[in-house]
Structure 1
């Protein structure tokens, strides 16, 4: 199939990834090409040159000084985003049918969703975050013109009041992360933000007598055979299966300390097998291929 992928115009699709959106888009572009698809990726300048990438930056647009003096004028960065996606979507309206069978939108911008009804090819949008007001507005005016997937069941539930989205669980590169012998201290990894609770992980590690916090993404850790101890919130209950780690009640430091000791007894080979079967990028791409095929044949993704 001829697939157009639309990513962020701000953050390159290249390692080290700015976040899960860029990592997912990189895995998707790389593996779709490997599976024989004709892929074009629109992404920020600096994206991996090994990918079939086109820079998502149109001809320079600078509002006039007069217009930017208006009291309601938006920031220049906002105008840059607006112009980049407006230029891309209008180009797809004009020439998309000649070049693509499906457009897969991963941006968090409202224009691809709002203008989906004008495109001559089907568009599917992957929801990477809980609801955002500008995307809710775009869905309200043209939601039926686009199909939607979500990176987890948790994310799909968060959007349930606005749109129905098919969950396609994020995958990781299990080939790049090989199983190891394990042992030693516990490790915390992840984006250093309050909702990921690194401060509580430190407290739990101290209670458990294992203090050694770093950063962790559960699926990547499990690819190495490393069991996971974590608070059971967000998408983690979808990722951590029985025998691959232990979840406890959110913000329960004593419960997390106990989960650390219990998770240490998990069979690392079973953890790795689960990651390859359930959490791999290959599994994720195969599911997106099913979505593309259903759209190309005029069916609704189920």
Structure 2
């Protein structure tokens, strides 16, 4: 089949580069890279400072504003206005140039691409990377039938049902890169250190299990980290910093268990797939998509928010077969399966 011309819309706020700010940026980088390796023509629209190898067309930042506009009572937070300006500019541009592409694939969490989909001369596919949010749900409701959708998990598709039907295209990881490690070491927790990811709950559970814990990830909420996480460090609990993927492979592969402790309905959980690919069993909360990714050969789940249960899960998961975890990743979490799914959706829409 002939190659496709894909416009891939990414985050305007965060760059697509290592160490990745979060799973959404890692996913978009991986998808663009894999599509190009399959011969497709991919144009990425994203944030400033992205990986030069992607050739990202940088979205504009905060517009120049007069002193009067800045002083107006309606002036929002600068990051909000910058994102609004970036996606408004992009959608107006794509309304003029969209025929250069076969499909526009929106991987942002912003409402404007969905709200303005009917201005494009080609179809817009939006991947739902999050549970319903007020802004995005409103845009979907006001522009019915103008966009197509995909959801990253069955759990996310269920949450959106009633607003939109979204076929599931599960996220995936490169199992040739995320390779098995020896295990046996201190459990690991990785991701953005923010309240909804549950780092405090993971630390408390690791303390009760007596295992220690290494946390790896950025700290975008400085106050949360300073007031809630930092006081719990020490005595076997360590924050090792914000690591690139090469260092994360080594860290996750060396751990006996990966602790995944979402305090929200995790839409997918790339950290779960990454851990399994490294042969590291998972102890986690039974929320969001985690039950879809795990079975009893590779993970142990506790009731959401149950720190004692999570401590017991850490102990139990350490006894699981690392080879079974790896098999689970290869069978259900591969990037090849993900890209196959998007290729099918693109050709349906092109």
TM (norm. structure 2) is 0.79
Partner of 1:293: 347
Counterpart secondary structure, 1:258:
helix
- What are the superposed Cα offsets for residues 229-288 of structure 1, whole Å, 9 maximum, x if unpaired? 111112111111230111121122332232223222222112112112211222211111
Counterpart secondary structure, 1:103:
strand
In structure 1, distance between residues paired with 2:69 and 2:206: 55
1:177 Cα shift? 1.8
Q: Which runs of 5+ in 2 are unaligned?
A: 217-257, 259-270
The answer (yes or no) to whether the contact 1:201–1:213 under 8 Å persists in 2 is no
2:336 paired with 1:276: no
Partner of 1:299: none
In structure 2, distance between residues paired with 1:229 and 1:220: 14
In structure 1, distance between residues paired with 2:191 and 2:171: 15
Partner of 1:150: 151
Counterpart secondary structure, 1:167:
coil
Partner of 1:300: none
1:82 Cα shift? 2.2
The change in CA–CA distance for 1:254 and 1:53 in structure 2 (over 3 A counts) is same
Partner of 1:61: 63
Counterpart secondary structure, 1:74:
coil
Q: Which runs of 5+ in 1 are unaligned?
A: 297-302
In structure 2, distance between residues paired with 1:14 and 1:261: 35
Counterpart secondary structure, 1:124:
strand
The change in CA–CA distance for 1:270 and 1:73 in structure 2 (over 3 A counts) is same
1:126 Cα shift? 0.9
List aligned pairs for 1:179-198, cutoff 5 A: 179-198=180-199
List aligned pairs for 1:62-101, cutoff 5 A: 62-97=64-99, 99-101=100-102
* Range with bigger deviation, 224-233 or 171-180: 171-180
In structure 2, distance between residues paired with 1:68 and 1:198: 37
The answer (yes or no) to whether the contact 1:28–1:285 under 8 Å persists in 2 is yes
List aligned pairs for 1:76-225, cutoff 5 A: 76-97=78-99, 99-215=100-216, 217-225=271-279
1:222 Cα shift? 1.0
Partner of 2:16: 13
- In the TM superposition, structure 1's runs of 4+ consecutive aligned residues that sit over 6 Å from their partners are none
The answer (yes or no) to whether the contact 2:151–2:168 under 8 Å persists in 1 is yes
In structure 2, distance between residues paired with 1:61 and 1:249: 46
* Range with bigger deviation, 167-176 or 38-47: 167-176
1:110 Cα shift? 1.6
In structure 1, distance between residues paired with 2:132 and 2:48: 27
- What are the superposed Cα offsets for residues 94-134 of structure 1, whole Å, 9 maximum, x if unpaired? 1211x100000011222111110111101001111222222
The change in CA–CA distance for 1:66 and 1:212 in structure 2 (over 3 A counts) is closer
In structure 2, distance between residues paired with 1:83 and 1:201: 38
In structure 1, distance between residues paired with 2:74 and 2:195: 33
TM (norm. structure 1) is 0.90
1:135 Cα shift? 1.3
1:70 Cα shift? 2.9
1:48 Cα shift? 0.8
Give the superposed CA RMSD: 1.9
